[in-house]
Structure 1
Amino acid sequence: MSSDVHGTPRRATLLWATLIVATLLTWGMGVLGATGKGAIAALAAISFWKGAVIILDFMALRHAPALWRMLTLGWMVLVWAVIAIAYIKGMPQ
């Protein structure tokens, strides 16, 4: 495997460790009962970043044709849009 396309083991390890830290951070926010629009926005941003890292780096699409990147990242954006709409509609007036 070429490191130009798939990155280096060091990069993968650093990204993996960062994903673990982000997961622990969001878990900790849940345990501590973080609420409010700011907490929800932070959780959404962290999880969106995690999804992008997994798609681009661990699925090795960072250097793939643009169509594949647009399809996978676009799917993630669509799912998050549906989640956001459901959350906003479910908020008390």
Structure 2
Amino acid sequence: MRLNKADTIFALLALATLASWWLGEGAAVSGQHLGTVATLAVLALSALKGALIALDYMELRQAPALWRRAVMGWLVVVLGLIVLFSVGLRG
């Protein structure tokens, strides 16, 4: 059985979700906050997931460049603000 592109993307999204959950659950069990590296890893996984969903499931890969740039730019701005406030306030 061969996996098509949608199946492969779904598997990547599921793995990224499990990895994010594992990082967050480890912090919750120990009663601590995520460390800076773990926080950045979760945000990087979120960026990957957001890009895959926008480009492939929302089919922005074939959309006009303006729409693709607007959605990907929004993703970068939101994640950048999260990094600024979550990591910046700790450091």
Q: Which bin holds the TM-score, normalised by the shorter protein?
A: 0.7 to 0.9
Code of the aligned partner of 2:78: V
TM-score scaled to structure 1, two decimals?
0.80
Distance 1:79 1:35 in 2: 19
Q: Which residue of 2 aligns with 1:25?
A: 19
TM-score scaled to structure 2, two decimals?
0.82
Task: State percent identity of aligned pairs.
Answer: 39
**Would you say the 8 A contact 2:36–2:87 is kept in 1?**
no
Q: Which residue of 2 aligns with 1:64?
A: 63
Q: Which aligned runs of 4 or more in structure 1 are off by greater than 3 angstroms?
A: none
Distance 1:50 1:73 in 2: 12
Q: CA deviation at 1:74?
A: 0.5
Q: Which residue of 2 aligns with 1:14?
A: 8
> Are residue 88 (structure 1) and residue 74 (structure 2) matched?
no
CA RMSD, Structure 1 to Structure 2 (Å)? 1.8
Code of the aligned partner of 2:19: L
Q: Which residue of 1 aligns with 2:30?
A: none
Code of the aligned partner of 2:6: A
User: Unaligned stretches of 5+ in structure 1?
Assistant: 1-8
Q: CA deviation at 1:61?
A: 0.5
**Would you say the 8 A contact 2:20–2:42 is kept in 1?**
yes
**Would you say the 8 A contact 2:51–2:72 is kept in 1?**
yes
* 29-38 or 39-48, larger mean C-alpha shift: 29-38
